[in-house]
Amino acid sequence: MAIDIPRGVRSSSVLGQRLGNLQLTDRRPLAAGEVFATTVRRFKGLERPAIVLCEVDGQMSPEDIEVLMYVGTSRAKTYLVVLLDQSAPATVHQALSH
């Protein structure tokens, strides 16, 4: 599993945080209790069985929306979860509602 965000590292409120007893990290190899979490741009070309795409919100750059959403949603082999904020652009809401 991996957690991807469409923002940059500095503007993320998720990267480097703890979720319960799990530490989110972009370092590899992962240690026990760690989950790989990075930006969509850094994860391009990689895939995992399960992806959580989070921080999809109104802070996404309008010119990057299509590319970031395509790359972010196409990294999961089996299971994809998108945590979509109400402030996300209408185009993102529409694309994910189909």
Residues 89-98 pLDDT 10s: 888 988 888 6
Distance from C-alpha of 97 to C-alpha of 76, rounded to nearest angstrom: 18
Instruction: Tell me the CB-side half-sphere exposure of residue 62, using CA atoms within 13 A.
Output: 1
Residue-range domain boundaries for the chain:
2-96
What's the pTM? 0.90
pLDDT per position as a tens digit, 31-60: 999 999 999 999 999 999 999 999 999 988
